[in-house]
Structure 1
Amino acid sequence: MHVAFFLLLASSASRFAVRHGLEESAWPKFALCGLLALLYVAGTVLWDRLGHRGLLAWLVVVMIVWLSLVLIAPSFAWCAPPLYFAALRLLTRPAAVLGAVVVTAAVVFAQLRLTATFDLSLVLAPVAVSGMILVIFLEFDRLADALAATQRTAGILGERQRLSREIHDTLAQGLTSMGMLLQAADRSFGTDPAEARALVRRAADEAAANLDEARRFVRALAPSDLAAGSLPHALRSLADREGAALRVEGEEYPLTPEEQAALHRVAQGALANAREHAAAAHIVITLSYLDDEVALDVADDGCGFDPAAPRPGGAGRGYGLPGMRDRVAGVGGTLVVESEPGEGTVVAARLPRSRP
C-alpha cells in the first residue's frame, strides 16, 4: 500500500506537470507534493515507533496536507486510495466512516474541478466505490473481532481440558492411592500396628508427592519424575513406586519435553487404571526407541474390558482414556487400547520420531 501511494503521487505530479507545465506558479504545488512525500516517508519509516497516538497524529497531518494539495491541484486526488485505507486501518469505526466521507468528498470535488461540464457519474462512482470498500472493510473488522473472541474461548476451553487431564492424572490418582493405603492401614491397625504405621507413612509420602505435582501442573511444568532425569529414568521411578516392571528397548534419542510429558502421563494413567479397575497382579511397561517412532506399551494381566462398550460415568470419571488420547494426539501421535474381558489390557502409544 505504501508503494502504491508513491506511485500514485508520482503519477499525479506527472499529470499536473503535463497539464500545467513547469511555470513559476506550479512550483508551490510541487513543494507541497514534496512535503506530502516526506511526511508519508517519515510515517512509514517510524511506523513501529510512533505508537497508536503518534500514527493518528501523522495521519491527520498527512490528510491536511493532501486535502490542501487537492484544493489547489485536483490531479493529486489520485492519492486517495492509500490514504483511505490508512484511515480505515488506524481510526475507530465512527472516525473511519467520517474519514471515508472526507476522502470521498475530496475525490468528487477534484473530479468535478477537472471537467468543464457537470457529470453525475463523477459523483456517483466515487461514492459507490467508497461505500463498497467501507462496507467490506467493516465486515472484515467484525469477522476479525468474532475470530478473536472465538480464539479466546478456545484458549479457555483448552486450558480447562489441560487442567482436567492434569487433575485426573495427578490429584485424582494420588487421592485414590492415598485412600487405598489408609484403608489398608485401618484394616491392619488392630493386628499389625507396625504395618499400619508403614502404610500411613506411605500415604503421607504420596500426599507430599501429590502436592508437588499439583504445584507443577498449575505452573504448566513437567512431571516431577521428568524434572529429575530422562524419560526412562522417570518411567523407572514410576514403575518402582507402582510395583511394575520396566523394559527399555533400542538406543535412546532425544524427545521434546512435550513428548516426554505425554508418554509419562500415559504410563501414569495406564498404571492407575490397572491398579484401580483391573485388579492386575503384574504390569509391564515397555519403552521402545525405534528408527521412525517411539513406542510406549503398558500391559497388565487384569480383568480386561470391552473397549467398544460404553464406559460407566459418574463424578470424577471420563478423563482417563480420552485424556490419554488427547495428550498423545497433541504431540502428533496415536494411542490404541487392546483388551478383552478376562484377557488383560494393553495401552499402546506411538509418537513419530522428530528428527533435528
Structure 2
Amino acid sequence: MAVELKVLFVGDAEPDVKLIARELRRVGFAPTWQRVETPETLRAALLREHWDLVISDTSLAGLDVMHALETTRFAAPDTPFIVVSGRLVESAGRQAIQAGASDSISKDDLGLLGPAVVRALQRTPEVGSIAQLLLATQELERRRIARALHDELGQQLMALRLMLESPHDSAAAIALVDQALAQTRDFAIELWPTVLDDLGLGAALRWLASRHTRGSLAFDVAVEGVPRMAFAVETACFRIAQEAITNIERHARASRVEIALRRTGDELELEIRDDGTGFDADAAWSRARGASIGLFAMRERAALAGGRLDILSQPGRGTTVRLRFPPRSLR
C-alpha cells in the first residue's frame, strides 16, 4: 500500500515533474500532482485546495524560487516546501533553506528526495498518521537492502561463479561461500531478528547489545522477570532500543550504555541510558526531524503500541530514553 501524496509542482518542465513523481513512487508514495509556472496560478492553487507538499524548480522564468517560497508561506504557511535544483543553481536552494524551505535536493541526486520528503512530512502531522510515514521509511529501507544485496552479495556470487567455471583454489571458493552466507544472515537479521520471536524481548535486547559491543562502548543489560508480552509491545521496545543505540554510536561519544527492562508496579518500563555528551532535548523535540525514523517517529511508534516515550538529556550529562507501557497494552 503506497502513501497518497498531493504535490504542487512549481516548474515549466513536464519531463522533470514526471521524473520526480517516478522517484516518489519508487520510495513508497502515490503522488497526485498539479504543475504551475506563474505567480498567479501558484497562488490560486494554494488557496483553492490543500497540498501535502510543494516542490519547486529554481530555473523558472518569471517565478524565481524565493518568490515561490514567499507565496507558499503566505497562502499555506504549514505546507512543506522542497527545492529541486540544477547543478549550476544549488546556491538558490541553499538560500531558500535559509528563508524557511524544508530542504533542497539536486536534480542529479534524486535518491535523496525520499528521505527529504519523509523529514518534511514528519513536521506536518495533518498529512496523515505516523503509520503512513513509517511505511514510506520502510520503503526506503527496503531499497537500501535491495541495493546491498545487488552490490555486495551479488558480486560475491558472481565471483564464485567465475571460480567454478575455471581452475580455482577450493579454499578460496569455500571462503567466498562463507562470506556470502554471513552476508545473507546479516541481511535476514536486519529485516527481522528471529531471537525476538524465539526467546522474547529480554534475550533480544541482550543480543542487540552484543552486536553493538565494540571498541570502548560497553553495555550492561538488566532484565528483571519480564514475561512474554503482546507482539506490538515487544516489537516497539526492540525497534526503539535499536534506534536509540544507533543514535548513541553516531552522536553521543559515550563509553557505557545501560539497558534495563523491568516491571514497575503494573507497568512495563524500558530504559536506555548512556554517559555521552547529551543534547538539548527540548530543542530536539521542537525540531522533531531525522533522516530515518527520528525522535518524533520513535515517540509515535511507542504511542501506536499503547506506550509513552520520554527522552531526558542535557548537554554534558548523557541521555536517557525511557519507554513505559500501562497494563492494558501488555495483553
The TM tier, using the shorter chain, reads 0.3 to 0.5
Structure number with larger C-alpha Rg: 1
- By relative contact order (CA 8 Å, sep 6+), the higher-ranking structure is 2
Normalized per residue, the structure richer in helix is 1
TM-score under structure 2 normalisation? 0.43
TM-score of the two chains, using structure 1 as the length reference: 0.41
